[in-house]
Amino acid sequence: MKTLALFSVTVMMMMITFTGYSQTVGITDDASYTAHNSAMLDVRSTSKGFLMPRMTMSQRNAIASPATGLMVYVTDDNTVYYDDGSGWVSLLNSNLPATPFAQVFTVAQAGGDFTTITAALNACVSPSTGNRYLIRVMPGTYPENILCKQYVTLQGAGKYSCHINGTVTAADSCTITGFYIDGGILCQNTSPTITENIITNMMGNGINVLPPANPWIRNNEIVDCEGWGIHCNGWDAYAWIIGNRIERNWMGGILCSNSSPVISNNTILKNHQFGIYLIGALGMPAEPTIDDNQIWHTQDYFNGIGIYMTGYCEPRVMGNDISCNFTGIEIHPDTQPSVLANEIGYNHGFGIRCWSSGASRPVTIKGNHITSNTQVGVEVNFAQPIITHNNLNANVGGIDLQYAGPPVPMVSYNVFDNRTMVGGIPATGLYNVTGAGAAIVP
């Protein structure tokens, strides 16, 4: 009788829990719920979750001929993986490479595989694209200089809890993520991914990029360095500098010496002297793309400059918010930038200052909103830039455009309320108007 009663209860539980409708299977603890007919399997609960198979990395790798789309949870690195038809791909952590790790090591003060990062790196034997290693570093301070290895991911427990008290030398195709690094990072002849770190250096630069090098530098805090936050130094020292907070560095935020990085979507804030400094030479120009950054409070009242360029430079400066510096942009001889569609305002001296007619083509200042600067909106000194389609009015000092020549700028299709001409030679150009819509000569 006990066996029969138990069987009856089991059947009733199955009827409540599993319901099938035209090949749709519903799993639920709600007897009134109807599985959706667009799903082959519909799982519903307001008090329980779905638990997929859990296994070690070795067990996962031992699955024979996994189906495309097969999913497992790997306990070695607490990550969900799925098979994309060519290999296992990490689902939860975009910082980790898709290629499966050959081995996962844990570094910890106690209880790990190793107590130092260097010992774990030494245990990574012949890493390659098909033989990658993951080194997980648990919270704590690690007083060592790190020499990374190619195809090895260093994953700290978090930038506020995992501290490398030393310098990190990057390696090609390595990943450095989740650390507080107080001795800076060196990228020479390497193309690593550097992401989600706090990086400082009281003795020099936060990140040095030396050619040939093509690192990804994204979503880091690069702060309080004695030198520059980032220095890209030399032709073929390219870098993708994206989404970082670059703040309070003594020399400045970013220095590009004869190099052409992409500088995009960064907050470059409260650096001393310069937000971004560009210097180039004929044959080794600086040709960076600088777009969608916030460049603010560079030595607000003490001649701090948001973007400074000199020598042979040809940057594209587009869509940035350049505010509350002393000077927004300063353009020196032989540079020939395109300054397009930026917000340049509330600087305590000048919006733009220009001394350059360009080396092989003119400086172009087009489509910018240059307003509320304390002294002058645009100042041109013995140069011939093209100034067109800008809104230059309402600068606090009452001078929207000031120039001295010869030569003088070409000024057309702008809005400005006044201009100051030094030297008696008028600028060329047509179709300028005041903020009220009245014609005004340049």
Regions of the chain with pLDDT less than 70: 1-23, 38, 76-77, 85-99
Sheet holding 41-44, edge to edge: 18-21, 24-28, 41-44
Mean pLDDT score of the chain: 90
What is the CB-side half-sphere exposure of residue 402 using CA atoms within 13 A?
14
pLDDT value of position 23: 65
Q: Are 289 and 297 in contact (CB under 8 A)?
A: no
CA distances from 308 to 255, 275, 326, 428 (A): 10, 8, 12, 26
Res 85: pLDDT: 67
pLDDT at 80: 82
Q: What is the pTM of this model?
A: 0.79
Alpha helix stretches (DSSP H) within 357-420: none
